[in-house]
Structure 1
């Protein structure tokens, strides 16, 4: 078993990555239902949370059907992070995670997210401020370094552990790589195999198949794997990884009925959490991901995003299910969504 503070997870757990505009409560619940062992909220600005911004406060919403769940904060000011940590604790999540990895220009420019990678001393001070301000287990998600010439994760990992964090997730790219190129898991493995490290080390980056998940777990010895882009529209990946680990065989690809059922489940969650109008709006970008690969599905998706109410969407989903009844999708490598494709350096 893998433990983060008082949270006991399964052996080699699967984590759902925190993704802005993706990892909301309805999506987390879907991934949890298909085998995610630990989920995270979208990242929350500590400054906005302290100021009481409505959007930031809503990101604190967590529900019983998605636990254990961590709330992720980012920020570049020690006082704001400390105050935000206390606010987070009052909402009773399972843990608090600090984002030192987001490469988005707007975050980095404020000295937060991956912007802290160039100043390890400051990274440690920010971490200590969070640890001092909460009784929750504090974890960190970060990257290998700022650029190819400053991959300092081996030293940073030890210092963050000394600052009091209880688990570390490493994305195998630098900030300057954004989400391009291949993730470098060699350094992740070196952190895990450093005899000084006592906390769980989770690897993240490019896991898009059960075969790769098992291969990387065994090769690099990580305590678990965090999955992000590959789960967008395909929560089945958690179930598939666990099945492959247990049997050594790939399960059948999800049926059309399963795809539509997951789409309905997500829709119901979105309507419940956001209300009818906002719930429908939030789902408009999701249909294509859940239904991709079905021949001629684009026209159905164009209709889905224009429908004015939930009943109309439900009726069209039923028509899609009937139209593709018996259609067998082939198992094929998952194409990673180009998340933050337009993120400028």
Structure 2
């Protein structure tokens, strides 16, 4: 697989530098680290919001830095957890004196390193708390569920709450409310290819697809014969509807990085019809690339039950490039 990169081991650093140079009105970079922060700095008195993880999920996570969402994003190497010292720099960059909330996806390396960074920050007098997102219903054991595209809704709602002046405990409570209720599941018809090795994350022939893929290039939990998107949507929604009851929801059809927008809208067409027929009210709808896996060809569906409070925060202004209203 050909890649449009320079040296593979400089990919993330050059990506960060490119983002900061292209959008100086939005982004700054913590010197010496692959950490993107707000160009206007931490806002005094506001709860800071930090997320991150391995790169390769763009626009996550740096694309969600901006007024109304994240204050800093920590960019690890591709599909690799950032180190505690990197996360600590993100915390410092986001600290406005009223505490910092970390939004962490449920992967062992991320959880460990973000928690270690929180301890280091606490030793320096910065109050830090964290929320772990585990929205992937492909994993039956809830404790082992991965954080995937539903994390974006946590960024948006918690970010808007922080921007409105909520306290650290209030922002955390709202973030946990979203994380507790959001559910996602994904699939792929083509894998992604690792920048260093050039090899696919998994082998898949023309007649096969993976159901229940993650966002780190890993294969799914089930391999099936390829079929049309109508049937694929039925498969994913069967899992999601078991955990999200009919009612008002936000729905996200998220591209995995290599899926044409035309195919995502075809997918959404079936998702919307099937959910509405099942008694769901699609109060907010999002279609596009939000949490990708390099150039993987596939999609995920995310459902978030909504109340008036969460809807208001979803609709609040956002300056982040990755979540324009």
Q: Greater CA radius of gyration, 1 or 2?
A: 1
Structure showing the higher strand proportion among its residues: 2
TM-score, length-normalised on structure 2? 0.31
Tell which has more relative contact order, 1 or 2 (C-alpha 8 A, sep 6+). Answer: 2
Structure showing the higher helix proportion among its residues: 1
TM-score, length-normalised on structure 1? 0.30
